[in-house]
Amino acid sequence: PTLVLADHDAIAREVANRIDALIRERQAAGQRTVLGLATGSTPIGVYRELIRRHRDEGLSFRDVVTFNLDEYYPMAKDSIHSYHRYMWENLFAHIDIDPKNVHIPPGDIPREEVSEACAEYEAEIRRMGGIDFQLLGIGKTGHIGFNEPGSGADSRTRLVHLDNITRKDAAADFFGEENVPREAVTMGVATILDAKEIAILATGEHKAAIVRRAVEGEIDHAVAATFLQRHPATTFFVDEPAAADLT
């Protein structure tokens, strides 16, 4: 389903509420919760709301395990551009998660070790029982994670080339397109579709065209987000501007 909400904050509250309920329900049953997490500007409100619930409402992340979607390659963990740093600054440093339960694809290992590390990332997700709830944003190319146009429905965690449009979108953050890495390590489309429940979020008029393509367009590998149409438990959370082109 597609849920159109007023704005970024309304989406953040709604999604954080679902994550909160899932964690508490599983805690009550003595089970861990496995979350798939995204970076970028879209999930910031969700993380802010989860931090508030931790601080004010006793939400604990003691038995929460996380797997992030992606990381640039190459990328040092302590770089201001790294998704490792983003996650610690925007979420993990402010909650009671056990650092050993945090997983983020490596951007700082030698190229010859990447494919084995990707296989290990997939294996660790399986050992943890699979992802219970996957949070996603969507890029202008229709990427989820960094599954750019051409990514197949059976793709798994791997090293990929970033699309030129994606690199242009990141240029301001990197003070110039020439500084944006050309590659990334990302979960695959199949990795994402294995999640039991998925929330994909989009806000702003600059996302309206790709939201329409993702929700109403034909399912094919030119737009990775269209594969979500086949997933049995995916909700699209959009604000009014991002929903503007939906028929």
* Closest separation in Å from C-beta 124 to ligand F6R: 18
* Closest separation in Å from C-beta 187 to ligand F6R: 8
- 41 touches ligand F6R by CB under 6 A: yes
CB of 232 closer than 8 Å to CB of 238 = no
Active site residues: 148
Residue 175 to residues 31, 167, 179, 200, 241, Cα–Cα distance (Å)? 44, 12, 7, 28, 28
- 131 touches ligand F6R by CB under 6 A: no
CB closer to ligand F6R, 62 vs 150: 150
The site string for ligand F6R over 139-168 (x = CB under 6 A, - otherwise) reads: x---xxxx----------------------
Residue 40 to residues 9, 16, 68, 81, 136, Cα–Cα distance (Å)? 15, 17, 12, 11, 10
Structure letter (DSSP) for residue 189: H
**Rounded to an integer, what distance in angstroms lies between the CA atom of residue 208 and that of residue 198?**
20
Strand order in the sheet with 197-202: 2-5, 234-239, 197-202, 133-136, 33-37, 64-68, 102-103
* Closest separation in Å from C-beta 58 to ligand F6R: 28
Question: Segment 53-82, which members bind ligand F6R (CB under 6 A)?
Answer: 69-70
- 15 touches ligand F6R by CB under 6 A: no
Identified binder of ligand F6R from the candidate list 36, 74, 106, 137, rule CB under 6 A: 137
| Interacting residues with ligand F6R (CB under 6 A) | 38-42, 69-70, 137-139, 143-146
